[in-house]
Amino acid sequence: MFHAAFKRLVLSVTLRSLLFNILIVALSLITVSALGTGRADAVTIDFDTFPNSSLVPDGTVITTQYASLGVTFSSPAPAGGPIAGAFPGGTSSAPNVLVGLDPATQAGLLPIVLDIAGLLPNSLNVTLVSVGNATVTATAFASDLVTVLDTVSVTHGPGAGVGLGAIDPITLTGTGIASVRFEITQTGPVLDGFGIDDVVFSPQAVPEPSTSILFGTGLLGVLGYVWRRRQRNI
């Protein structure tokens, strides 16, 4: 009788230890899987190359060429969109900068809109180019395209002229940036233009149940059932 009771006790302790070790492994799988869905690869657009690594020709109208990266561009410019090219105002990464070109003045006077589809970032870096005596404002919107998440304005004052060579990196932040509008307000004595360059952001992945999480959940359920059956038989 004592021997049988002792044997059941040893089996019970062994089973508990085994179940505990399996539980730790299952929880580790769930944690690693959840952390793995936290962030997607960073997106970088310099307007010098397309996503397939081919060069962007000077004077190219940019609209949907970066759609494979989840980004499109638009502008009320007569060309049908903003233009990528080598302009006198300079660039942060040669040769091209993106401008909302006004054909009458050949200056970047018109707004540029950047739209993001799919996984949305919580921050976006971009370089404003050739900001002088005017004020350039970048406004980040949520997915409803109404809610303003962040606004950054840059100017170099009345004495800056047209801002040749001016390079101003800025960062916009907010949960789920879906669109950014860049526009210029003439506040100085000289007609000023602007461009944008080097757009960089990291889409934030929405955690979803993966195979490992589903497996871990099912495993825990099976272990619970076995544990209850074993307890009744001891």
Per-residue pLDDT for 19 more than 80? no
Q: Residues with Cβ < 8 Å from 195, sequence gap 6 or more?
A: 87, 89, 91, 97, 98, 99, 108, 128, 129, 130
Question: Which parts of the chain fold into alpha helices (H)?
Answer: 2-36, 211-233
Instruction: Tell me how far apart the alpha carbons of residues 195 and 197 are, in angstroms, rounded to a whole number.
Output: 7
Could you read off the pLDDT of 150-194 as tens digits, one per residue?
Answer: 999 999 999 999 998 999 999 999 999 999 999 999 988 899 999
Cβ contact 162:184 at 8 Å: no
More confident residue, 182 or 225: 182
Mean predicted lDDT score pLDDT of the chain:
83
Q: How far is CA 59 from CA 28, 68, 95, 102, in A?
A: 53, 21, 11, 13
Could you read off the pLDDT of 194-208 as tens digits, one per residue?
Answer: 999 999 999 986 554
Reduced to 3 states (helix: H, G, I; strand: E, B; else coil), residue 138 is strand
Give the bridge partners for 9, in sequence order: none
Per-residue pLDDT for 20 more than 60? no
Which one-letter amino acid corresponds to residue 223?
L
Looking at domain 43-203, its CATH class is mainly beta
Give the bridge partners for 179, in sequence order: 115, 141
Low-confidence winner among 10-19, 26-35, 212-221 (lowest mean pLDDT): 26-35
